[in-house]
Amino acid sequence: MSTKAAAPAPGAETSGDTYLPGHGNGGYRVRHYELDLDYRIGPNRLAATAVLTCVATQALSRFSFDFGEFRVARVLVDGRAAKYLRRGLKLQIRPARSVPAGAVFRVEVRYSGNPRPVRSRWGDIGWDELTDGSLVASQPVGAPSWFPCNDHPSDKAAYRVTVAASSPYLVLVTGNLVSRYCSASTTKWVYERPEPTAAYLMSVQIGRYDDVELAGGAWVPESGAAPDGVVQRAAVPPRLRRPFERDFARQGRMMDVLQQWFGPYPFGEYVVVVTDDELDDPIEAQGMSIFGANHVDGRRTHERLVVHELAHQWFGNSLTVADWRHIWLNEGFATYTEWLWSEESGGESAASLARFWHTRMRSLPADVAIGDPGVARMFDERVYKRGALTLHALRGEIGNPAFFALVKAWAVEHRHATVRTAEFTALADSYAGRSLHAFFAAWLEKPALPRL
């Protein structure tokens, strides 16, 4: 089942998102991005061409993309030179001919400059330099830091990304590696992301990494195929290989268990990147998770984060929120997966963890309704933990068989779609065989914490 997201406001330089209306644009949807990047690591210099294949949702005499602080050399719309204007983080485009409603049109943008993160209320987000290399961490507004886009989670598209970089460096892009061309000094990497993908979930990782098998079958670079199971590999600094092997030793089992709970893994591969720098928090991208050197210690100290990021491949990446106010659907599910995995792997039970976090939540102010927490509290701890508590309470309300059947159906039926809270609660009603309106109103719509 595919859930169609509401289109952004027609013809507007706003997505209509209740939290981040300035990110995303109206009047069109993007079907495909083709990005050709030439990156110089030392000077942090990017020269690129982006070709976006779009569909007009109304007649367009002008439209806009979200885009960072680059020098634009030219813009073509269906092969004709178009007028353009940079205004803040918007690239405003006026084509030589208006685009009719329903028409498919192609926009080519040639640009260059020094990619830098987007400033936001959550800090600097997007393309960032490492001590030796680069990373991209775009949630929720960092995608314009490296390519022109419709930066809204509901506008999911396919991608083909080519990156040319210095040969000693490993380049990983969210997607399947389809080719690699090596010369004496430069290697060109070509990746394809065929599944519908939100712009903020696209990522580029560049570093002096070892490319190692993480779990499952052997990776075949030319085809991206593995003889058995999901392709799982990792990019790891050589100095961290030994502790990494212990910290991620249960990755194969983890993947198997999550597929039992949530249905088939939704992408063609799963890649873990460990940077040689420290990161505040791990980052999920489509088919990829990025950890800092501080998350690897050889003692499995951060295994809950490993399973949290893997769970996001289903909840957040395959099932992407139609509007940021539904973010508990991402973080509540990923956090509850931590608790389920703890119990599955011989650690503390989900019930015990739920009791602990319920007590912790009671000690905090009751001023957040997680079903609509507000833009300032999108990433509040209470959205994560109370989201997980909501799912644990739902499990107790409808019983284990119905709960796990519901969760799998939610992930499978909405695979690669955009989702809203109302769709989840309606599906929960069907598996409960009765209305759960009062239950969800208490847990999601009211700040007061219900009894567990």
Q: Same domain, yes or no, for 57 and 147?
A: yes
Q: Which residue in 265, 77, 264, 287 sits closest to 203, CA to CA?
A: 287
Give the pTM: 0.94
How are beta strands 71-77 and 90-94 bridged, if at all? unpaired
Look up the domain containing 409 and give its range: 321-445
- CA distance readout (Å), 21 to 201, 324, 338, 351, 421: 18, 10, 32, 39, 19
d(CA 289, CA 307): 10
Task: Establish if 385 belongs to a structural domain.
Answer: yes
Q: What is the pLDDT of residue 342?
A: 98
d(CA 297, CA 301): 7
- Please identify which residue in the block is written with the tokens 């079958």: 217
Type and span of the H or E element at 390: helix 381-398
CATH of the domain at 25: 2.60.40.1730
Q: Same domain, yes or no, for 349 and 427?
A: yes
Task: Establish if 43 belongs to a structural domain.
Answer: yes
Q: What is the pLDDT of residue 11?
A: 58
Phi/psi-derived region of residue 319, left when phi > 0, alpha when psi is between -120 and 50, beta in every other case: beta
- CB-CB neighbours of 182 under 10 Å: 10
- CA distance readout (Å), 275 to 112, 129, 364, 426: 26, 11, 34, 41
Task: Establish if 119 belongs to a structural domain.
Answer: no
Domain edge (last residue) among 292, 313, 334: 313
Q: Same domain, yes or no, for 59 and 150?
A: yes
CATH of the domain at 251: 3.30.2010.30
CATH of the domain at 342: 1.10.390.10
Q: Same domain, yes or no, for 173 and 28?
A: yes
Q: Same domain, yes or no, for 339 and 402?
A: yes
- CB-CB neighbours of 451 under 10 Å: 7
- CB-CB neighbours of 365 under 10 Å: 7
Q: What is the pLDDT of residue 13?
A: 73
Q: Same domain, yes or no, for 66 and 40?
A: yes
Q: Same domain, yes or no, for 73 and 180?
A: yes
Domain edge (last residue) among 284, 313, 342: 313
Q: Same domain, yes or no, for 64 and 81?
A: yes
d(CA 15, CA 334): 26
Instruction: Report angle CA 256, 259, 263 to the nearest 5 degrees.
Output: 160
Q: What is the pLDDT of residue 14?
A: 75
- CA distance readout (Å), 411 to 5, 262, 343: 17, 6, 21
Number of domains in the chain: 3
Q: Same domain, yes or no, for 297 and 346?
A: no
Is the C-alpha dihedral spanning 99, 102, 104, 106 positive or negative?
positive
- Beta-strand runs (E) in 201-258: 204-207, 210-215, 231-236
Task: Establish if 125 belongs to a structural domain.
Answer: no
Task: Establish if 127 belongs to a structural domain.
Answer: no
Q: Same domain, yes or no, for 326 and 378?
A: yes
Q: What is the pLDDT of residue 218?
A: 37
Task: Establish if 128 belongs to a structural domain.
Answer: no
Q: Same domain, yes or no, for 300 and 427?
A: no
In the β-sheet with 123-130, what is the strand arrangement from edge to edge?
118-120, 123-130, 133-137, 204-207, 170-173
d(CA 232, CA 436): 39
Cβ neighbours of residue 400 closer than 8 Å, sequence gap 6 or more: none
Task: Establish if 129 belongs to a structural domain.
Answer: no
Secondary structure (3-state) at 354? helix
Q: Same domain, yes or no, for 17 and 90?
A: yes
Mean pLDDT, contiguous 10-residue spans, the chain (452 residues): 43 78 93 98 97 96 96 98 95 96 98 96 95 96 98 97 97 96 94 98 98 65 50 96 96 96 96 97 96 97 98 98 96 98 97 98 95 96 98 98 98 98 98 98 97 92
Task: Establish if 451 belongs to a structural domain.
Answer: no
In the chain, % helix, strand, coil (3-state, to 5) comes to: 30, 35, 40
Q: What is the pLDDT of residue 278?
A: 97
How are beta strands 231-236 and 269-274 bridged, if at all? parallel
Domain edge (last residue) among 279, 294, 313: 313
Type and span of the H or E element at 310: helix 303-311
Q: What is the pLDDT of residue 420?
A: 97
**Alpha-helix residue ranges (DSSP H) falling in 202-264:** 241-247, 251-262
Q: Which residue in 62, 152, 70, 161 sits closest to 109, CA to CA?
A: 70
